[in-house]
Amino acid sequence: MADLQGRKVFKVFNQDFVVDERYTVTKELGQGAYGIVCAAVNNQTNEGVAIKKVTNVFSKKILAKRALREIKLLQHFRGHRNVSVRGRRRRRWRGADRACFEITCLYDMDIPRPDNFNETYLYEELMECDLAAIIRSGQPLTDAHFQSFIYQILCGLKYIHSANVLHRDLKPGNLLVNADCELKICDFGLARGFSVDPEENAGYMTEYVATRWYRAPEIMLSFQSYTKAIDVWSVGCILAELLGGRPFFKGRDYVDQLNQILHILGTPNEETLARIGSPRAQEYVRNLPFMPKKAFPSLFPNANPDALDLLDKMLTFDPSSRISVEQALEHPYLHIWHDASDEPDCPTTFNFDFEVIDDVGEMRKVILDTVLRFRQMVRTLPGTAGGVPGQGQPGGAGQVPLPQQGGQWTAEDPRPQEYMPHGNGLEQDLQAGLDASRR
């Protein structure tokens, strides 16, 4: 077909999947509300990639904004020339150097039919599965695995935060893993900017509610503003899930989510209670019987004491007292991995100015322009057109058997969702959190 020059069409989950002619689709990996993903091989280099087809981009304004946010952030974090990673985590990279190896790399983008498009294709690193699938499989993991995974998450998060970006949806399903225990953070569709100025933060809203089980209490309880601590809370939830083999705070709804957090962490002190911005939520917590904090060693009797100390510092109810990413990297639990020279910051902060765009037609133009510019860039830099990194060094924790089925949503997994008020007044307040209270 003339309009698909240089491309081929495959069937993936019974949908047309249009890919660059250099690639052959080899495996269906997963599908969800926002698109489908397959594995493909470069016929010239015999190296694999994951190709993600983002569908129905312009069916809703919030989906268009999410798609725009994702491609802009992946492009920004793709890497910067002249920034190298040294030491025991060194990787070989063909073409442009990359500054952070714990963030999934975007190789290419495509819009096969630019005249009237409702979908985009993202060519990314191929990872065998996600951390959620590994945890669900029940296969034995060692403390060395836990250390390696948490360290890599924190390294990626340090890089992300240094660009003044909050991920806001860290969870096992958004952490890609390969057999060498290398881990990559993915899915930036819910990310937002961060500033030390709370008023400036208020300008970056999203109509999506991040995944409930990993959502920091200050978001539900409408504390004054977001801080980087919300992502640290999510990492704490992930560490607890690794230690226990199941989600730690598995609330059926937002009220139950809050109850489960209070049941484990105990009743907050008066200073913290006074910072709860939702009057209904503050009244609810104050009227509950006093609850003492549970000791983590009693919940995880076989865990490394250093892991439990780090967990305690990550799952601190008051975000102002929660451990920072930089402090967590220096924690004794991660001392075998920690190397400050090997934990880079992003050289440039991310520009969220596009968030003010409110017209779907204008978003369409910006997405098309962004994709075309990126395609031109990767085809101009030597060795990067559809380039794939060399195989990385093993993660150091030993290989882990991967589940036969890739990580996909299960019926019980809570997904990010549009903010659609339902339930009683308290449930609405907790679901909406800070974002909705400022509209």
pLDDT of residue 413: 52
How far is it, in rounded angstroms, from Cα 371 to Cα 109? Answer: 6
Regions of the chain short of the pLDDT cut 50: 1-2, 80-98, 203-208, 385, 388-395, 406-412, 416-420, 436-439
- Of 315, 166, 300, the C-alpha closest to 238 is 315
pLDDT of residue 33: 74
Contacts of 359 (CB under 8 A, 6+ apart): none
What residues form the annotated binding site?
A: 53
Q: How many domains does the chain have?
A: 1
Catalytic residue, candidates 169, 180, 429, 435? 169
Long-range contacts of 245-251 (CB under 8 A, 24+ apart): 245/135, 245/138, 246/135, 247/213, 248/213, 249/213, 250/213, 251/212, 251/213
Sheet holding 175-177, edge to edge: 129-130, 175-177, 183-185
pTM: 0.86
pLDDT of residue 423: 57
> Is 339 designated active site?
no
pLDDT of residue 349: 95
pLDDT of residue 4: 82
- What sign for the dihedral angle of Cα 187, 95, 386, 23? negative
CATH number for 146: 1.10.510.10
- Of 86, 273, 50, 59, the C-alpha closest to 177 is 50
pLDDT of residue 421: 52
pLDDT of residue 380: 86
Contact at 8 Å (CB) between 315 and 265? yes
Q: Which DSSP string do the residues of 259-277 spell out, in sequence order? A: HHHHHHH-PPPHHHHTT--
What residues form the annotated binding site for ATP?
A: 53
Q: What is the pLDDT of residues 307-342, one digit of tens each?
A: 999 999 999 999 999 999 999 999 999 999 999 999
Can you read off the two tokens belonging to residue 124?
């990314």
pLDDT of residue 290: 95
Q: What angle do CA 28, 63, 221 make, to 5 degrees?
A: 110
Can you read off the two tokens belonging to residue 94?
């063909």
pLDDT of residue 93: 33
**Domain of 247, in residue numbers:** 2-437
Contact at 8 Å (CB) between 355 and 189? no
